[in-house]
């Protein structure tokens, strides 16, 4: 193929009954010459995942700060994660940039009537760093989110410009409390200041969107009745494709399709279990939603990894919680519901318990990082080309403040960040400064401001980082 100049188009799909499966980057898609350079450039485009874990951290409380329950004591590169909620990320410290001590002022109450509404503002502020307009009606307004800014620039050549996922139930209709529409707390992605984007909770829906497994209602019904995989509908196309590519590409195709089938099988098992009549922990959740938080999160991470491998989309936002949730996380070793646990009352043991829940949530991330590291694309792994933003617009949840908010950047970021560093910002630094500078490094150099940013933020330096005036 390389000698003759023939190649398979990058946008090659396997099509069957209601199924459209995009392929990963193959050697056969990269012939020598100018086209090869173009395809490689496309493959080297950064991916972005923005993850909100709601309601702050135990490390933002006085006791938590003194005992480094979130960020490590040391700044620079020689930091120690043991004892902190970030300790599950030790294996990935080389691709981790911890930015501590930034504030999210736009989520605070400015007027007396806004006091108490932090739960219903925070999520809307996380990726916009803008002030939500207080309303319970349809005249919602906040700001365009950074994931959508990135998607506008780099997601328009993919089949799906961006996707928005969540774990907890969402209801974007009507008013919630303290004069705020529910949509403010039920999404973190905004296509414009007045356009909130719906978030998908059901892995089945995500799978069907990614792999074109929807088709018509009749096609879906036929596939379910015959208990067939979407791969069964593209068997002939797979055989023809494998005859046209080399040995390594055949192995790559097999691994990719096996991953799709494994995820499909896991979703089917969840649906079968949830429709069996057994008592569910989440009785109101769709059949495709696992009762287990860990199982649910891992499915969502696997779907994101496969979407990146096939280049169906390059942008995800992922809302892993809900401020007022009373969910208990047995895997954390703490039997307290999430929201009551977050209101620790400055009791040391309660703060330690909440830090343990924080550590459990952070402990979900290595699974995703492992998946991305295992998937090779061109000259590197998907982890090398992905930026994962993990944080919260809340600081100390006990008092609902928005100071010293947790924030970590993970992944190779396509070389945008050196990684392996803890940077502690000066007091009063807006988180918006960090996000603005991160977007600059990821190719959006023409962004002059973002939210309440006051200037650039300096990455890649050890020690204290100054806040620059804008």
* pLDDT value at residue 452: 97
Q: Is residue 38 part of a domain?
A: no
At 383-393, the pLDDT tens digits run 999 999 999 99
Cα dist from 381 to 37, 40, 356, 393, 411, whole Å: 18, 13, 31, 30, 10
Examine residue 359 and state whether it is found in any structural domain, yes or no: yes
Q: Is pLDDT above 60 for 4?
A: no
Summarised one tens digit per residue, pLDDT across range 302-359 is: 999 999 999 999 999 999 998 889 999 999 999 999 999 999 999 999 999 999 999 9
Nearest-angstrom CA–CA distance, 31 and 426: 50
Mean residue pLDDT of the chain comes to 89
Domain count, the chain: 1
- At residue 227, the pLDDT reads 62
Where are the alpha helices (H) located in 275-329, listed in sequence order? 293-310
Segment 23-38 mean pLDDT: 67
pLDDT higher than 80, residue 175: no
Is 83 within a domain?
yes
Model pLDDT for residues 228-279, shown as the tens digit of each residue: 687 887 888 888 888 888 888 889 889 989 999 999 999 999 999 999 999 9
Q: Tell whether the model's pLDDT for residue 167 goes beyond 80.
A: yes
**What pLDDT, on the 0 to 100 scale, is given for residue 226?**
59
> Is 281 among the domain residues?
no
Burial class (CB in 10 A: 0-12, 13-18, 19+), 440: middle
Question: Is position 277 within any domain?
Answer: no
Residue 28 confidence (pLDDT): 84
Structural domain range at position 393: 48-201+289-465
CATH code of the domain covering residue 402: 3.40.720
Q: State pLDDT tens for residues 438-459.
A: 999 999 999 999 999 999 999 8
Strands 421-425 and 376-377: unpaired
E-strand ranges in 378-465 read 380-381, 386-391, 407-410, 421-425, 464-465
Establish if 35 belongs to a structural domain.
no
Give the relative orientation of helices 203-210 and 247-274 as an angle to the nearest 10 degrees.
Answer: 150
Token digits of residue 214: 């929807």
Is residue 223 one of the residues assigned to a domain?
Answer: no
Angle between helices 293-310 and 365-374 (to 10 degrees): 30
* Residue whose C-alpha is closest to residue 385's, from 431, 436, 443: 443
pLDDT of 224: 60
Helix (H) or strand (E) holding 50: strand 47-52
- Does 339 reside within a domain? yes
């Amino acid at each position: 193929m390389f000698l003759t100049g023939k190649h398979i188009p990058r946008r090659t799909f396997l099509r069957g009954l209601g199924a459209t499966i995009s392929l990963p980057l193959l050697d056969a898609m990269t012939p020598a010459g100018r086209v090869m350079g173009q395809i490689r450039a496309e493959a080297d485009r950064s991916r972005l995942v923005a993850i909100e874990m709601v309601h702050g951290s135990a490390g933002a409380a006085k006791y938590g700060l003194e005992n480094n329950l979130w960020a490590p004591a040391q700044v620079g590169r020689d930091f120690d994660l043991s004892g902190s909620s970030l300790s599950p990320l030790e294996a990935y410290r080389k691709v981790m940039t911890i930015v501590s001590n930034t504030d999210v002022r736009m989520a605070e109450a400015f007027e007396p009537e806004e006091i108490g509404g932090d739960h219903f503002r925070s999520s809307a502020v996380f990726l916009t760093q803008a002030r939500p307009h207080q309303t319970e009606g349809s005249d919602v307004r906040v700001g365009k989110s950074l994931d959508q800014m990135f998607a506008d620039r780099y997601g328009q050549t993919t089949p799906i410009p961006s996707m928005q996922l969540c774990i907890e139930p969402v209801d974007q209709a009507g008013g919630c409390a303290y004069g705020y529409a529910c949509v403010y707390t039920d999404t973190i992605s905004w296509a414009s200041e007045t356009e909130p984007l719906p978030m998908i909770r059901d892995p089945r829906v995500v799978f069907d969107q990614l792999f074109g497994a929807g088709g018509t209602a009749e096609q879906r019904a036929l596939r379910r009745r015959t208990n067939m995989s979407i791969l069964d509908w593209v068997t002939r196309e797979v055989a023809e494709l494998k005859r046209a590519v080399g040995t390594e590409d055949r192995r790559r195709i097999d691994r990719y399709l096996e991953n799709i089938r494994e995820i499909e099988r896991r979703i089917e098992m969840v649906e079968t279990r949830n429709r069996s009549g057994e008592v569910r922990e989440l009785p109101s959740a769709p059949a495709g939603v696992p009762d287990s938080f860990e199982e649910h999160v891992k499915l969502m991470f696997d779907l994101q990894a496969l979407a990146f491998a096939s280049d169906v989309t390059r942008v995800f936002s992922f809302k892993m919680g809900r401020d007022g949730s009373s969910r208990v996380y047995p895997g954390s070793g703490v039997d307290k519901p999430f929201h009551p646990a977050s209101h620790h009352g400055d009791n040391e043991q309660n703060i330690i318990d909440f830090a343990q829940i924080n550590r459990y949530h952070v402990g979900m991330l290595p699974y995703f990082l492992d998946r991305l590291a295992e998937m090779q694309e061109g000259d590197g792994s998907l982890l090398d080309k992905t930026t994962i933003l993990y944080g919260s617009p809340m600081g100390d949840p006990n008092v609902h403040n928005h100071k010293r908010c947790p924030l970590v950047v993970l992944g190779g970021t396509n070389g945008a960040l050196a990684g392996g560093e803890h940077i502690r910002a000066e007091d009063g630094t807006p988180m918006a400064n960090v996000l603005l500078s991160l977007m600059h490094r990821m190719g959006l150099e023409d962004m002059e401001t973002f939210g309440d940013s006051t200037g650039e933020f300096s990455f890649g330096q050890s020690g204290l980082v100054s806040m620059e005036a804008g």
